[in-house]
Every structure is written in structure tokens, then in C-alpha cells.
């Protein structure tokens, strides 16, 4: 529970990522976003807090737990994509990785098996994260080829799945922009670059 700019109103964030507001006693609840009326217009304080939390939580993920497509240049922006190899729109987004990289966008993939941790997609993603070269294994899976091995290891797939739920991911692909904004669904490279 966190204080808000309004007296006696507190923000509550559930583990599922949902936010609501309550009084100190917890006997009144308000579901929705809190806005501030400023000279520049309405500012969504709830979304600002969500974005900041997403950014902070993603910064905690070590690079070796991400499957990264950087390109050859130093990237101008880094986006995180929660993905699932069984998702057709994820496959379509992955086909544009070279264009993302040309536009200076590094793509870091995190696992989000849409069918849950007992699904075939989860098992495939675990094999990908355990592969000797996860980026090649992920690309192969998106081409409907089997990952290079059936290796098992201590992998972050389940942890990333739960993190996605916590951050408000409801489906794939889910793209998190550098400012923490969540964009649901497939977005072409050219349009994402303007975002």
C-alpha cells in the first residue's frame, strides 16, 4: 500500500498487477486510474507508477536471462518483448527483428508461455533458454523447427512468466518500451520506432 497525492487515499497493487485505491481503514475501494489535473492537461498518475515499476522490475533481469537481438550497431533504444513460440503474432514480430535492429532498436525477449507453465509452449521455451545459443534456438522455434537440443537447466522461464503477469501482460507479444509503457500485440517495426 502506497500513499497518493490525495489525502487519505492509498494505492494498492496486487501481485497480478491490478491496481485499486482504498482509504486507510480498507473499507472503501475505488477501481480505476488516478489522474492529476495540471496546466498541461490530465496526467495519469496510475499509469506513470505502473511504467516506473515495470522499468525498475525489468532492470533487475540480468542480461544472461534474456534472449537478445542487438544488431551490429549500438542501439538507440531497448525494448523488452514477452513472447511465446506458439503465438503467430510473436512469429510475425520476430520476422521483423532485422528491421528493428536497422532502426536502432535492440529487442530483449522474455518468456511468457500463454498456456501457462504446464503447456507445450512452456516446455519448448525452457529448452530454448537452456540451449547453447538461445537466440538461434528461438529463431528456429519461430520457423517451426525444433530447438537444437532437449537440454534442461535451471532456467528463468517460470519466473519470467510470473513477472509478466505481475507487470500486466495478458497476452503475447507484449512490448515494454524504454519508458515502461506496455504495448499489447504485434506492432510493425516502423510504427514501433516512432513510439
Same domain, 78 and 136: yes
At 160, give phi and psi (nearest 5°).
Answer: -70, -35
In 10 A of CB 64, how many CB atoms? 8
- pLDDT tens, position by position, 39-75: 999 998 888 888 999 999 999 999 999 999 997 778 8
Q: Is there a domain that residue 47 lies in? A: no
User: Is 22 found in the same domain as 111?
Assistant: no
In terms of domains, do 106 and 162 share one? yes
d(Cα 101, Cα 189) in Å, to the nearest integer? 9
The pTM of the full predicted model, rounded to 2 decimals, is 0.84
**Would residue 159 count as lying in a domain?**
yes
| pLDDT for position 149 | 62
Reported as a single tens digit per residue, the pLDDT across 3-41 is 888 888 888 887 776 788 888 888 888 888 888 898 999
Give residue 150's pLDDT. 67
- The verdict on 76 and 9 lying in the same domain is no
pLDDT value of position 23 = 87
CA 87 to chain centre: 15
The verdict on whether omega for the bond into residue 30 sits within 30 degrees of 0, i.e. cis, is: no
Q: Evaluate whether residue 94 is within a structural domain.
A: yes
Residues with Cβ within 8 Å of 51's Cβ and at least 6 positions away in sequence, in order, are: 179, 180, 181, 182
Say if residue 72 is in the same domain as residue 123.
Answer: yes
67 & 37 share domain: no
Residue 46 lies in a domain: no
pLDDT given for residue 90 in this prediction: 95
Residue ranges of alpha helices (H) inside the chain are 45-59, 88-95, 97-102, 120-130, 134-142, 157-166, 189-194
Count structural domains, the chain: 2
Helices (H) and strands (E) in the chain, counts: 7, 11
Residue 49 in any domain: the answer is no
Q: What would the pLDDT profile of 150-194 be if each residue is shown by its tens digit?
A: 667 889 999 999 999 999 899 999 999 999 999 999 998 889 888
Question: Considering the domain boundaries, does residue 51 fall inside one?
Answer: no
How is residue 108 annotated by DSSP?
Answer: E
Residue 15 and residue 102 share a domain: no
**Which domain does 22 fall in, by range?**
1-41
Amino acid at each position: 500500500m502506497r500513499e497518493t497525492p490525495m489525502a487519505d487515499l492509498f494505492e494498492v497493487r496486487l501481485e497480478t498487477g491490478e491496481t485499486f485505491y482504498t482509504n486507510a481503514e480498507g473499507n472503501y475501494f475505488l477501481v480505476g486510474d488516478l489522474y492529476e489535473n495540471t496546466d498541461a492537461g490530465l496526467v495519469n498518475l496510475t499509469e506513470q507508477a505502473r511504467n516506473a515499476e515495470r522499468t525498475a522490475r525489468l532492470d533487475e533481469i540480468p542480461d544472461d536471462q534474456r534472449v537478445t537481438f542487438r544488431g551490429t550497431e549500438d542501439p538507440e533504444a531497448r525494448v523488452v518483448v514477452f513472447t511465446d513460440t506458439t503465438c503467430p503474432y510473436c512469429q510475425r514480430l520476430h520476422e521483423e527483428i532485422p528491421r528493428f535492429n536497422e532502426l536502432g532498436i535492440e529487442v530483449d525477449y522474455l518468456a511468457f508461455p500463454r498456456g501457462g507453465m504446464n503447456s507445450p509452449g512452456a516446455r519448448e521455451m525452457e529448452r530454448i533458454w537452456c540451449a547453447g545459443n538461445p537466440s538461434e534456438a528461438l529463431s528456429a522455434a519461430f520457423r517451426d523447427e525444433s530447438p537444437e537440443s532437449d537440454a534442461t537447466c535451471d532456467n528463468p522461464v517460470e519466473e519470467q512468466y510470473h513477472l509478466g503477469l505481475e507487470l500486466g501482460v495478458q497476452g503475447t507479444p507484449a512490448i515494454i518500451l524504454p519508458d515502461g509503457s506496455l504495448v499489447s500485440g504485434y506492432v510493425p517495426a516502423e510504427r514501433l520506432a516512432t513510439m
